């Protein structure tokens, strides 16, 4: 595969032409009577027309045939995709999943769409408010099938296996330790090269943004220049037997046939695009004196709610960094949170639980459910000599955090057969160190 090219920047106004058709973008207007190369002009709107300029999202696509050229949509099998949050009774317990099992290609071929499994979520699609967390488990490419989501944006986190993603805006190669965002309404198809696994955070009705930096200043965390947007690329390809376009609409899956590849956009311009980001580029902020800053300092992207400072979803990472805090219990503190916290692991191990939390698995600590380091981590960290140390080298854990109280699906609790029934036992060895007759704590050895 030839090296793919990208346009750097987050949320920029961009313009791109496939170099095979120079001058394909109209000059001075969006919708000429006849477009260059006799293309069709089509606008893709990611926000209401009347949104403020700072939040107005749209792109113009110049394509060989418009996307309306398809047969009627018909309902298809849902697989394990759902947005019904009352399949099973609520469960406030700490939940942890072993690595989700990828089906063997020799037994059954499963692509990205048929391999989507909804794990948990909250809110309502029809009112454009909420989120869902999915696991994808696949072993074959999508071929002459593409997908688009009428309900929300997909933030895709590959954990095992790279993804070659075709979109209407161009192509992206997304590898483990990278993420991509494919926004609402954008058609895409994914090629895989091995048994592949990852996580998807879906948000309804809002788009991901860079978090405000406040007193951090102008620079830090995920810098805008490190986000990459694909450049225009098209294929003028007839598909004997029909190309299948799959749509997720109001939580249900539908399919329609058309005669040509949907990736027939020769040129485009606008600020509503897919994009990717390498997590290694994250500029980490951390405490350099004592105590912890809250994990919000590790936020890569946020999908804001209407309440200031409160997110429908945050995407947070725990990257390699230095730990230098003095007189401090350095691992994550014990916590009860009004937010819901889903954690996944791309590679390595998570510092607070080095045993049962494994790459390709996950955990969910629901609203106000207590959580924190296991007993072994607490004992070691309480006695450790506090010298500067590297933390999480070779590791990348992440968190999908939400202000909504998420329900777990039947697949998550039962059908997946990955729920770790013994998770609670990691805290059972915790013991009291209370010394009522001595205020002075025992120091490290």
Report how far residue 112's alpha carbon sits from residue 93's, in angstroms, rounded to the nearest whole number.
30
371-395 average pLDDT score: 92
Report how far residue 188's alpha carbon sits from residue 286's, in angstroms, rounded to the nearest whole number.
37
| 433 catalytically annotated | no
The reply to whether domains 72-261+273-279 and 282-423 share a CATH topology is yes
Q: Which position among 70, 207, 292, 433 bears the catalytic label? A: 292
CATH superfamily of 72-261+273-279: Jelly Rolls (2.60.120.10)
* Domain definitions of the chain by residue range: 72-261+273-279, 282-423
* Residue 143 pLDDT class (50, 70, 90 cuts): very high
CB 344 within 8 A of CB 199: yes
Q: Is 350 annotated as a binding residue?
A: yes
* Residue 240 pLDDT class (50, 70, 90 cuts): confident
List the structure tokens of 111: 């692509």
Paired strand residues for 400: 315, 342
Beta-carbon contacts of residue 316 (< 8 Å; ≥ 6 apart): 295, 296, 298, 299, 300, 398, 399, 400, 401
Q: Is 341 annotated as a binding residue?
A: yes
List the structure tokens of 335: 């916590």
* Residue 352 pLDDT class (50, 70, 90 cuts): low
Report how far residue 407's alpha carbon sits from residue 417's, in angstroms, rounded to the nearest whole number.
17
* Residue 428 pLDDT class (50, 70, 90 cuts): very high
Q: Is the pLDDT of residue 146 over 60?
A: yes
Q: Is the pLDDT of residue 262 over 90?
A: yes
83, 88, 93, 94: CA torsion to nearest 10: -40
Q: Is the pLDDT of residue 414 over 80?
A: yes
Report how far residue 72's alpha carbon sits from residue 80's, in angstroms, rounded to the nearest whole number.
24
Q: Is the pLDDT of residue 445 over 60?
A: no
292-305 average pLDDT score: 94
pTM of the model: 0.96
CB 213 within 8 A of CB 45: no
322-345 average pLDDT score: 94
- pLDDT at residue 354 in the model: 66
Q: Is the pLDDT of residue 439 over 60?
A: yes
Tell me the CATH number for domain 282-423: 2.60.120.10
Q: Is 428 annotated as a binding residue?
A: no
Q: Is 433 annotated as a binding residue?
A: no
């Amino acid at each position: 595969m030839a090296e793919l090219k990208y346009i750097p920047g987050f949320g920029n106004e961009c313009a791109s032409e496939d170099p095979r058709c120079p001058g394909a973008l109209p000059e001075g207007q969006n919708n000429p009577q006849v477009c260059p190369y006799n293309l069709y002009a089509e606008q893709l709107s990611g926000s209401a027309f009347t949104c403020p300029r700072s939040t107005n999202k749209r792109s113009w696509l110049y394509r060989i045939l418009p996307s309306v050229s398809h047969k009627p949509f018909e309902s298809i099998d849902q697989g394990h995709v759902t947005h019904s949050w009352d399949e099973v009774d609520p469960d406030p317990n700490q939940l942890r999943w072993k690595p989700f099992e990828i089906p063997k290609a020799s037994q059954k071929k499963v692509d990205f769409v048929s391999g989507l499994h909804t794990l948990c979520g909250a809110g309502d699609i029809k009112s454009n408010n909420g989120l869902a967390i999915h696991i994808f488990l696949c072993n074959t490419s999508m071929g002459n099938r593409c997908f688009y989501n009428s309900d929300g944006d997909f933030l895709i986190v590959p954990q095992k296996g790279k993804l070659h993603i075709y979109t209407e805006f161009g192509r992206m190669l997304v590898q483990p330790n990278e993420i991509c965002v494919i926004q609402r309404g954008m058609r895409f198809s994914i090629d895989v090269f091995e048994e592949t696994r990852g996580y998807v955070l879906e948000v309804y009705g809002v788009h991901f943004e860079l978090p405000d930096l406040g007193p951090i200043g102008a620079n830090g965390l995920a810098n805008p220049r490190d986000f990459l947007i694909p450049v225009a690329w098209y294929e003028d390809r007839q598909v004997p037997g029909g190309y299948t376009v799959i749509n997720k609409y109001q939580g249900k899956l539908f399919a329609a046939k058309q005669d040509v590849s949907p990736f027939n956009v020769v040129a485009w311009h606008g600020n509503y695009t897919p994009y990717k980001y390498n997590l290694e580029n994250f500029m980490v902020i951390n405490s350099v004196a004592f105590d912890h800053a809250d994990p919000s300092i590790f936020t890569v992207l946020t999908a804001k709610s209407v309440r200031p400072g409160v997110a429908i979803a945050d995407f947070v990472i725990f990257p390699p960094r230095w730990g230098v805090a003095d007189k401090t219990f350095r691992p994550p503190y014990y916590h009860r949170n009004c937010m819901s916290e889903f954690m996944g692991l791309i590679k390595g191990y998570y510092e607070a639980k080095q045993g049962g939390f494994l790459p390709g698995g996950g955990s969910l600590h629901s609203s106000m459910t207590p959580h924190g380091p296991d007993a072994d981590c607490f004992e070691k960290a309480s006695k450790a000599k506090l010298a500067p140390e590297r933390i999480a080298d070779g590791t990348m854990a992440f968190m999908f955090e939400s202000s909504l109280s998420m329900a777990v699906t039947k697949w998550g609790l039962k059908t997946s057969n990955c729920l770790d029934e013994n998770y609670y036992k990691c805290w059972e060895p915790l013991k009291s160190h209370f010394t009522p007759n001595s205020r002075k704590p025992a120091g490290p050895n």
